[in-house]
Amino acid sequence: MKKSIAIDMDGVIADIEPHLIEWYKKETGVALNQDMIKGLGEEEAFSDKEALHKILNTESFFRTAPVMDGAIETVKSLMKEYEIFIVSAAMEFPLSLFEKRAWLQEHFPFISWKNIIFCGDKSIIDTDFMIDDYCKNLDFCKGKPLMFTAYHNIAIDHHERINHWNEVPSLLENHIAKTEKVL
Amino acid sequence: MKKSIAIDMDGVIADIEPHLIEWYKKETGVALNQDMIKGLGEEEAFSDKEALHKILNTESFFRTAPVMDGAIETVKSLMKEYEIFIVSAAMEFPLSLFEKRAWLQEHFPFISWKNIIFCGDKSIIDTDFMIDDYCKNLDFCKGKPLMFTAYHNIAIDHHERINHWNEVPSLLENHIAKTEKVL
């Protein structure tokens, strides 16, 4: 049986960081950049909570997010060896549900609707690997957690890290080889 | 830690069967009733595939489904003892995503967005119990499967069965007591 991987959307296959910076500037006039927000939590980085809330609930915000560099090619190629599930915490923002589904259909049409999960809490998701940018998901996952680097998780060091999608295939292979050796 | 239960929507907390019969009659003129379709698969019971497909993709179909008798009171009461997750295979019908979220908000407002999962394949859902009306979900679930009776599953006998929500609390208690005795 193929090993399974749960892959997050925002900050993992959707490059939400520069997108949010751009929308935040339009909304508040505050020009942030990726260096300025490194290591900060979302609510520290985007400190105007009302503006942040408004953006995240605005139609087309999620629909127009750019794709993370290398994500399409790598995910497509991983599908030959792994069972891929897209697992996104979309439930908090009801408007995002349809938009995220449409975004996936546009950029990742090769992923079946059967392999898409929109949820809140990810603790009941059981896959061999989970690629995510948040500890709230990775700390409780049932498989091997892999942290995709994002501005807000720079200081966290208790998960194996992915800095770019091109690192993923060999990282997974190494992990599987190591596990098989132990067994 | 509380035991967890994954609860399906259509045919379990949403009484989709009479609703579909009603919409099917409006669409095709064919008047079915619950006795006539007992034991038939969905595509046998509603044999005009085009009409069925149209209904399932029509705005407001899922939004206006009635609630299954006893579901609200029982689920609310189960939440004291169990961690409840609503797990619906909503991904096949993108229009249904927002509607199902709104339906839950109306009828089950006490269920947090964190505990709602819209997916395709349910095989990666890991809960102690799963209440569902389809073998495609129950046969592969990681916990104890419980089959909610529906017209299409009458002839199936390899899962413990629920005929009404008022049976659920004692059924769960008995199962837990039995498991603890074995341990």
Structure confidence at residue B106 as a pLDDT band (50, 70, 90) = very high
In DSSP terms, A161 is beta-bridged to A147
Domain ranges for chain A: 3-15+66-182, 16-56
Q: Are B29 and B84 in contact (CB under 8 A)?
A: no
pLDDT of B181 reads 79
Q: Could you say which of A10, A128, A132, A133 is catalytic?
A: A10
pLDDT of A94 reads 87
Q: Please compute, for residue B78, the number of CA atoms within 13 A of its CA located in the half-sphere on the CB side.
A: 29
Q: Are A89 and A140 in contact (CB under 8 A)?
A: no
pLDDT of A39 reads 92
Residues in B closer than 8 angstroms to A113, CB to CB, are: 91-92, 120
Q: Does A4 touch chain B (CB under 8 A)?
A: yes
Show Cβ contacts of residue B183 under 8 Å, excluding neighbours closer than 6 positions: none
pLDDT of B168 reads 97
What dihedral angle (degrees, nearest 10) is formed by the CA atoms of A79, A83, A86, A91? 170
| Residue A27, amino acid | E
pLDDT of residue B77 exceeding 80, the answer is yes
Structural domain B3-15+67-182, CATH architecture: 3-Layer(aba) Sandwich (3.40)
Quote ipTM for the complex.
Answer: 0.90
pLDDT of A113 reads 96
pLDDT of residue B182 exceeding 80, the answer is no
Nearest CA in chain A to B116: A119
* CA distance linking residue B82 with residue B128, whole number of Å: 10
SS3 at position B47: coil
pLDDT of B165 reads 98
CATH topology for the A3-15+66-182 domain = Rossmann fold (3.40.50)
Among A125, A161, A177, A174, CA closest to A5: A125
A139: annotated active-site residue: no
Among B173, B169, B167, B137, CA closest to B152: B137
Structure confidence at residue B142 as a pLDDT band (50, 70, 90) = confident
Give the number of other CB atoms < 10 A from CB of residue B33. 10
* Phi, psi angles (nearest 5°) of residue B28: -115, -15
SS3 at position A88: strand
Task: State the average pLDDT over residues B133-146.
Answer: 93
What distance, in Å, lies between the first and last C-alpha atoms of chain B?
17
pLDDT (tens digit per residue) in A123-158: 999 999 999 999 999 998 889 999 999 999 999 999
Q: Does B28 touch chain A (CB under 8 A)?
A: no
Cα angle value B152/B158/B162 (rounded, 5°): 65
| Residue B51, amino acid | A
pLDDT (tens digit per residue) in B1-58: 899 999 999 999 999 999 999 999 999 999 999 999 999 998 899 999 999 999 999 9
pLDDT of B99 reads 95
Best residue in A100, A119, A125 to probe B by mutation, most B CBs within 10 Å? A119
Nearest CA in chain A to B127: A124
Which regions of chain A are under pLDDT 50?
none
Residue B158, token pair as written in the block: 């390899």
